[in-house]
Structure 1
Amino acid sequence: MRLIQCLHEGRTHAALVENDTTVRLANGDTYSLARSAMASGKPFSEVVEASLTDTRLDYADLIATQRLLPPLTHADPAHCLVTGTGLTHLGSADTRSAMHAKAQSASEEELTDSMRMFKLGVEGGKPSPGQVGAQPEWFYKGDGDCVVAPEAELPWPGFAEDAGEEPELAGLYVIDDQGTPHRLGFAIGNEFSDHVTERFNYLWLAHSKLRSCSFGPELLVGELPAHLEGTSRIIRNGNTLWEKPFLTGEDNMAHSIANLEHHHFKYHSFRRPGDVHVHFFGTATLSFADNIRVEPGDRFEIELPAFGRSLRNPLATPDDDNDVVTVNTL
């Protein structure tokens, strides 16, 4: 089952993707349907099926009229937390393969913090069921206000040195009234970061992450396929500027999904009843690693056939709001 969210007659609705051209409207948004499933004890997919109406909408028209939304949202953006983990994929990308090889051959004294973290994941990121594995890198992205809808422009802050894509999987969660996280499924994500800032000094990782992101357009309900093959590309003036395949899914990751979820939700503050969580699971492919510098108007496209329609977002012109922020005293 694959779901989207869209605006219809002024209200947010979930909709079942029936095919490439048609979606079937549900009576309620994704969040309310998830809450109903938790309250009733029924599977989320069963609740969605029971909520479907006879109204069908044209998928392309939703995009053309800018009514396509992220597949999971919270009415109060402050109750949607966007986070992620890095250095999680074994990867087909040369950068990850090279890091893996060096991590295995280097002495402990020669390892950088990044290489040491990667090696920890390779050696201990997939523990046996019921066991705790290696702790991954973790970062906070923002709240729901940082999420950009599929097809919408990704803003480019004036202070940023770069504005590059990160093709990833994102897990989508809702916390029940007892504080237990429930995963609805997964979506394609573009975690979108400033790799120039990150490369200059890894201690600036947080600065490179506190910016916009996008995920969707479709929520794949249920379990994640163990092996996924996708393509990340950048379109400039109608032509493909850069394109590269990538692998994801647990078969291609150093960490299991369960281990990454544990190390996020082990914090009590991330199990606040009613909250939505969007958690990015890391990337293996970056155009920045191939010396690509993006420009305003470039369009990021991340394709994973198992997830239906590609995630597409054009890049906005850098804003000019780069003045010094002053704080007033009350």
Structure 2
Amino acid sequence: MLISQVRKQDGSIAVAVRAPGEVAHAVNGAESVYGLAMEAANSGKSLKEIIDAKGLGEAIDLDQAYAEGRLLSPITHPDPAHLHLTGTGLTHLGSAATRDAMHKKATESAEETLTDSMKMFRMGLEGGKPKPGEKGVQPEWFYKGNGTSAVAPGTPLVSPSFAEDGGEEPEMAGIYIISDKGVPYRLGFAVANEFSDHKTERVNYLWLAHSKLRQASFGPEIRIGSAPEDIRGASRILRSGKVLWEKPFLSGEVNMSHSFANLEYHHFKYDLFRAPGDVHVHMFGTATLSFGDGIRTEEGDVFEIEAAGFGLPLRNPLAIAAEEEIAIHQL
């Protein structure tokens, strides 16, 4: 089942559900995916059970809504400060190659020590998929922002004026909600664009945190339930309506050095991330970047990411923010 949020012509919000390839219908009496998810988490019922009990109403044309700019992020929080955008890196087989090249010094020889990136990647290969009851190695982790940084499908991803680069990262994101008792529940998975500044990161690995403080987009639909072991998709950049760059991307645990369960544990082990009522969009990494192929994005380029079984493709144009003066005032 796929679930999404649509702004109707009268300005109200409809929650739309469908099976892949079928027409979407509105969930009766549902005002938001957040409301449905909290009802499920606090009742001990599955999200599907809650939806089935409410029943479905009018048909919704998702393609038309997308074209008209009425698709919202597939989950939002009434208070954006309580939606967290986070992620992990070096989690996919092959993902170390681009990152390692970015962080190596030009004078480094093969005999010298491994970069921190390659060390982290190898740790994942050796301990990222623990057996039941065991604790696996923790991954690289980063913070991107809160709900104010979550951009709806079709809406521009805005690169700050001070950024050196604005590049896509095609990833799968886990979507989570915390019950009133502080228990994390996973709704499902969605396609995500973990938009980053790769030039800034390349200068020095310690600037990774700066490079990740950018907007992100996910959806347009959440696939309810567990993720397939082998996820295959495509990432492309369109410039002036023509494909500038395109490449397949792989995800799912058969293509990863970490299990989803291990990545989830090392995020939610912090009680900070188990605050009742909060929403988490946690991105799981990628091995595919246009930046690694020498592509330099320009304002107006359109990112398009899709994966089989995850609904409509995620599209976002690139915009550049105007320069602003930041003044600090003494109280």
Check if 1:253 corresponds to 2:252: no
Amino acid at match of 1:13: A
* Cα distance in 2 for residues equivalent to 1:113 and 1:96: 10
Which residue of 1 is the match for residue 224 of structure 2? 221
Which residue of 1 is the match for residue 329 of structure 2? 328
Structure 2 counterparts to residues 195-206 of structure 1, below 5 A? 195-206=198-209
State which of 238, 249, 256 in structure 1 corresponds to 2:241: 238
CA deviations 1:67-106 (Å, max 9, x no partner) are: 101111101000101100000000489637999xxxxxx9
CA drift at 1:20: 4.8
* Cα distance in 1 for residues equivalent to 2:171 and 2:281: 12
Which residue of 1 is the match for residue 171 of structure 2? 168
3-state DSSP class of the match of 2:64? helix
CA drift at 1:60: 2.0
* Cα distance in 2 for residues equivalent to 1:230 and 1:135: 26
3-state DSSP class of the match of 1:138? strand
Which segment is superposed worse, 141-150 or 58-67?
58-67
Which residue of 2 is the match for residue 102 of structure 1? none
* Cα distance in 1 for residues equivalent to 2:290 and 2:157: 16
Query: What percentage of residue pairs aligned between the two structures are identical?
Result: 57
* Cα distance in 2 for residues equivalent to 1:206 and 1:306: 32
Q: Number of paired residues?
A: 322
CA drift at 1:145: 0.3
Structure 2 CA distance for partners of 1:44 and 1:296, relative to 1, 3 Å: same
* Cα distance in 1 for residues equivalent to 2:254 and 2:264: 17
CA deviations 1:33-70 (Å, max 9, x no partner) are: 11111222111111122223321121122112211011
State which of 167, 187, 191 in structure 1 corresponds to 2:190: 187
Q: What's the TM-score, normalizing by structure 2?
A: 0.93
* Cα distance in 2 for residues equivalent to 1:107 and 1:133: 29
CA drift at 1:28: 2.8
Which residue of 2 is the match for residue 125 of structure 1? 128
Alignment check: 8 A CA contact 1:21 1:60 kept: no
Which segment is superposed worse, 189-198 or 46-55?
46-55
* Cα distance in 1 for residues equivalent to 2:163 and 2:209: 13
CA deviations 1:238-273 (Å, max 9, x no partner) are: 111000111100010000001101110010110000
3-state DSSP class of the match of 2:134? coil
Alignment check: 8 A CA contact 2:100 2:118 kept: no
CA drift at 1:21: 7.1
Alignment check: 8 A CA contact 2:2 2:20 kept: no
Which residue of 2 is the match for residue 7 of structure 1? 7
Amino acid at match of 2:226: E
3-state DSSP class of the match of 1:14? strand
State which of 282, 285, 290 in structure 1 corresponds to 2:285: 282
* Cα distance in 2 for residues equivalent to 1:319 and 1:44: 38
State which of 264, 267, 270 in structure 1 corresponds to 2:267: 264
CA drift at 1:138: 0.4
Check if 1:55 corresponds to 2:50: no
Structure 2 counterparts to residues 83-122 of structure 1, below 5 A? 83-91=86-94, 95=98, 110-122=113-125
For structure 1, the 5+ residue unaligned runs are 100-105
3-state DSSP class of the match of 1:164? coil
* Cα distance in 1 for residues equivalent to 2:231 and 2:20: 20
Which residue of 2 is the match for residue 135 of structure 1? 138
* Cα distance in 1 for residues equivalent to 2:88 and 2:71: 27
Which segment is superposed worse, 135-144 or 30-39?
30-39
* Cα distance in 2 for residues equivalent to 1:45 and 1:201: 46
CA deviations 1:253-301 (Å, max 9, x no partner) are: 0000011011100101100000000000001100000000011111101
Alignment check: 8 A CA contact 1:90 1:97 kept: no
For structure 2, the 5+ residue unaligned runs are 103-108
Structure 2 CA distance for partners of 1:228 and 1:155, relative to 1, 3 Å: same
* Cα distance in 2 for residues equivalent to 1:170 and 1:162: 22
Calculate the aligned-residue CA RMSD, in Å.
2.0
Alignment check: 8 A CA contact 1:91 1:246 kept: no
Which segment is superposed worse, 17-26 or 235-244?
17-26
